[in-house]
Structure 1
Amino acid sequence: MARVTFYVVNSAAPAALLNAVCHLIAQQFNQRRRIVIFSQDQAQAEAVDELLWQIPAERFIPHNLLGEGPVAGTPVLIGWDQPTAELSKQRNVVFNLRHEVPELTRHIQEIIDFVPADETGKELARERYRHYRQLGMQLATLPAPE
C-alpha cells in the first residue's frame, strides 16, 4: 500500500511550491529512489527542470523531461500530459503537481503531493486527499520545506 504525504506550502509566491518540490526531490534522490514528477503542464515541468539544473554540480540530480532522453535512463523523470500509469512504471516515488489524482501502478511506494496556499488549490488538495483515503492509502500531512 502506498504512503501519501501532503506538504503544505504556506507561501503564495509561485517559487515556493517549486522550491519545496526540488528540496524534496533531492531528499528522495539521496535515498536512491527513482522518481517521476507529474506536472500540471509543460511550463511547470520546464520550471522544475530549470530549477534542478541550478543545483550546484557537487549535488547534481540526473533528470530529464519526458522525451529528452531514455525514459528509464535517469533517476528523475519529469512529465506533464502523458498517461501517468505508464510513466510510473520502474519508479517508486511519484511527485504529484497535478490538480487530480494520477493513475498509478501498484508498485508505487510513495506519493508526494502538495497543498498550495491559495483557496482553490487547497480545495483541490482536499479532493485528492479524500480520493487517496478512499483507495486505502496511508496519509500524512507535513509543512513544506522552505
Structure 2
Amino acid sequence: MTKVFFYHNVQDRLGAACALVSKAYAQGKDFTVYAPDPERAQVLDRLLWTQPPLGFLPHCRADSPLAAETPVLIASQLDALPQDQRLLNLADDIPADFNHFASLIEVVSQTEEDRQQARQRFRQYKEMGCEIQSIDMAGR
C-alpha cells in the first residue's frame, strides 16, 4: 500500500514542492511530479531550473525521450512511467493509479481553498486504507 505524506502549512506550494524534490534528488532518489494542469507544470518546470540556486536538478516531461534516464519527471498522466517510487501530487484531486507508487507526497499551502481540497484528499486516502503521515511545515 502506498504511504502518503502531507506536508502542510507551507507558504508557497510550488516552492515547497521544488525544495522537496531537490532534497530527494540530493539523496539520490528518483521522483515523479504529477501536474496535470499545464500552467502549473510550466511554472514548476521553470522553478526546477533555479532550484537549488547554485546547483542543477535534472528534470524533464514524462513524455520526453530522455524520461527513462532522468531522475525527476513532470507528468500529466501516470500511465507507462519509468519510475514508481515517489510521486508528488500537484493536482487538486487524488491522482488515478497513485497506488503504483511506494510513496505519495501532498504539499498543502496555507490558503483556505488548498486546505479544503487537501482535507478531502486526506479523507479519501484514509478511506482507501493508506498509511498517512502529516508534517507541519509552519516555521520551517
Tell me the TM-score normalised to structure 2 length.
0.85
Q: Residue in 2 aligned with 1:97?
A: 90
Q: Residue in 2 aligned with 1:2?
A: 2
Comparing 58-67 with 42-51, greater Cα deviation is found at: 58-67
1:134 aligns with 2:130: no
**Structure 1: tracts of 5 or more residues without a match:** none
Q: Is the 8 A contact 1:96 1:111 kept in 2?
A: yes
Q: Is the 8 A contact 1:7 1:142 kept in 2?
A: yes
Q: Sequence identity of aligned pairs in percent? A: 29
1:78 aligns with 2:74: yes
Q: Is the 8 A contact 2:16 2:107 kept in 1?
A: no
Secondary structure of the structure 1 residue equivalent to 2:63:
coil
Assess, with a 3 A threshold, how the Cα gap between structure 1 residues 142 and 39 changes in structure 2: closer, same or farther. same
Please point out which of 101, 113, 133 is paired with 1:108.
101
Q: Distance in 2 between matches of 1:105 and 1:88?
A: 12
Q: Provide the aligned C-alpha RMSD in A.
A: 2.2
Please point out which of 2, 16, 34 is paired with 2:30.
34
1:62 aligns with 2:53: no
Secondary structure of the structure 2 residue equivalent to 1:59:
coil
Secondary structure of the structure 1 residue equivalent to 2:96:
coil
Tell me the TM-score normalised to structure 1 length.
0.82
**Structure 2: tracts of 5 or more residues without a match:** none
Please point out which of 37, 48, 51 is paired with 2:47.
51
Q: Is the 8 A contact 1:2 1:138 kept in 2?
A: yes
Q: Residue in 2 aligned with 1:144?
A: 137
Please point out which of 117, 123, 132 is paired with 2:110.
117
Q: Distance in 2 between matches of 1:6 and 1:57?
A: 25
Assess, with a 3 A threshold, how the Cα gap between structure 1 residues 139 and 38 changes in structure 2: closer, same or farther. same
